[in-house]
Amino acid sequence: MTPIPDPPESLASIEPLEREQRLYERVVEKVLNLVGNNTWKPGYRLPVERELAEAFGVSRTVVREAVKALEAQGVLESSSGSGIYVRAADHSIVSRSLRTYLQLSHQVDFGIRLNEVRRVLETETAALAAERATLEQRRQLRTVCEQMRAGAPAAQMADLDFRLHLTLAGATQNELFTVLLAPLIDQLRDQITLTWERYGQRRVETVLEHHEAIVAAVERGDSAGARRAMTRHLAYSREVLEGLLTPASPT
């Protein structure tokens, strides 16, 4: 068999031609623009398929493909017998995308990686919460601490743990902190529940003290103190996590 020669060097400088967008992708782009500039607001009911096809100058099949793609992205949602609507922003969309990424990346140490991201994000979350939390949000944080101090099964303690961190995010009065933090916590849900099952009384007491220190700083409006308390808490969380991930040495 005659060997195939290597392509001449001159071919290395040739860039592939850009593929033209398919029609349904162009419709998707147009709809995203309409949603993005608030022409179509959350809850807006889209015109029927025929009217959309006429407006975009495409076939109804193209419109159908575009709607399916936008539903998959979480931009639109179908209501049986009612029509197609623009969805409100939902952090679960980010969570699903992150979950897919983690599943495809096969990263066994994703818990450690997420902890690093949380340290960057949540230290400032705590500091801003101390500056901006409403009286009601401070009351909610104190209530969570009291419920955790009263004790509960591991799964409930984990849920209270999540609630405290998400309440802090909400107390920044910047919804982007919740959008960013909620999917990270969602990814750690099983792991954090397992951690609570294995804490032991000494570790439980340490975590409770950390949470109470964060909340106390928020209550007195001490942003620097809240930042320090959260930094200490997440450093300890990483220490515990690494201990769970490290196989026990043979005796």
Report pLDDT for 104. 73
User: For the residues 180-209, what does the mean pLDDT come to?
Assistant: 83
**Residues 147-170, mean pLDDT to the nearest whole number:** 93
Q: What is the CATH number of domain 92-245?
A: 1.20.120.530
For residue 30, give the H/E element and its range.
helix 23-36
Q: Residues 234, 119: contact at Cβ < 8 Å?
A: yes
78, 84 contact by CB (below 8 A)? yes
Closest CA to 193 of 250, 122, 111: 111
Beta partners for residue 84, in sequence order: 78
pLDDT digits (tens, 9 = 90+) for 203-218: 889 999 999 999 999 9
List residues bridging with 83 in a β-sheet: 79
Query: Running DSSP on this structure, what letter comes out for residue 13?
Result: G
In the CATH scheme, what architecture does the domain 21-86 have? Orthogonal Bundle (1.10)
Decide if pLDDT at 250 tops 60. Answer: no
Contacts of 238 (CB under 8 A, 6+ apart): 112, 115, 119
Domain boundaries, the chain: 21-86, 92-245
Q: Which residue has the tokens 């509960």?
A: 152
**Other residues' Cβ atoms within 10 Å of the Cβ of residue 197:** 12
Q: State pLDDT tens for residues 9-57.
A: 556 656 665 556 788 899 999 999 999 888 999 999 999 999 999 999 9
Find the range with the poorest average confidence among 20-34, 74-88, 190-204, 217-231: 190-204
Q: What is the pLDDT of residue 200?
A: 76
pLDDT number for residue 241: 76
Nearest 5°: CA angle at 180, between 129 and 182? Answer: 85
- Of 39, 63, 62, the C-alpha closest to 49 is 63
pLDDT given for residue 52 in this prediction: 92
Q: What percent of the chain has pLDDT over 70?
A: 85
Q: How many CA atoms lie within 13 A of 52 on its CB side?
A: 20
* Predicted confidence band of residue 160 (pLDDT cuts 50, 70, 90): very high
What is the token pair recorded at 161? 């743990």
Q: Which amino acid would we find at residue 236?
A: Y
Q: What is the pLDDT of residue 246?
A: 63
